[in-house]
Each structure stands twice: as structure tokens, then as C-alpha cells.
Amino acid sequence: MPADIGPAQTIALLENDMAFKPLPAGQADHHIVDAFRVVCGGTETTVYLDMYHCDAPPPRQAPAGFEWLD
């Protein structure tokens, strides 16, 4: 959550998130993004996944540095 909002605004954001209300265009939703550490040989990369907006179709492209496998 942003550091500069008060308790009432925090509660309103949480209530809207829990109700899955749509956000106005351009408004940040301050939701959770998961980070996964991927290690392959001597290379380490962090992959960030937003698993909380599942209404969009999944991308058909691998992140940079990765390969898409069907």
C-alpha cells in the first residue's frame, strides 16, 4: 500500500480489491505480484507473475531470456 494514504483510504482500497471492482483507467491497484527465483547453471533470474488478474488470456510469448515450450 502507498505510505501516504490514511486508514480510511486503505480500507476502501482493500474493500474494492476484495469485491473485484474494476479500476478506472490508469489507477494503480496495489495488488500482490509473486516473484519466483529461477536458477539455471550460473544464471539467476527473478520472474514476476501477476496471478490475480486471470480474466485476460495468457501471453503466448515467453519472458525475455526464456523459451516458450508447448
For the segment 11-57, what is each residue's pLDDT rounded down to a tens digit? 887 887 778 777 777 777 777 788 999 998 899 999 888 777 666 77
Q: Is residue 5 part of a domain?
A: no
Q: Which residue has the higher pLDDT, 10 or 44?
A: 44
Q: Is residue 7 part of a domain?
A: no
Q: How many domains does the chain have?
A: 1
Q: Is residue 10 part of a domain?
A: no
| Count of alpha carbons within 13 angstroms of residue 17, beta-carbon side | 15
Burial class from Cβ neighbours inside 10 Å (0-12, 13-18, 19+) for residue 29 reads middle
Q: Which contacts qualify for 4-10: CB closer than 8 Å, 24 or more apart? A: none
Could you tell me the residue range of the domain that residue 29 belongs to?
A: 25-70
Q: Is residue 19 part of a domain?
A: no
Q: Is residue 34 part of a domain?
A: yes
Q: State residue 54's pLDDT score.
A: 67
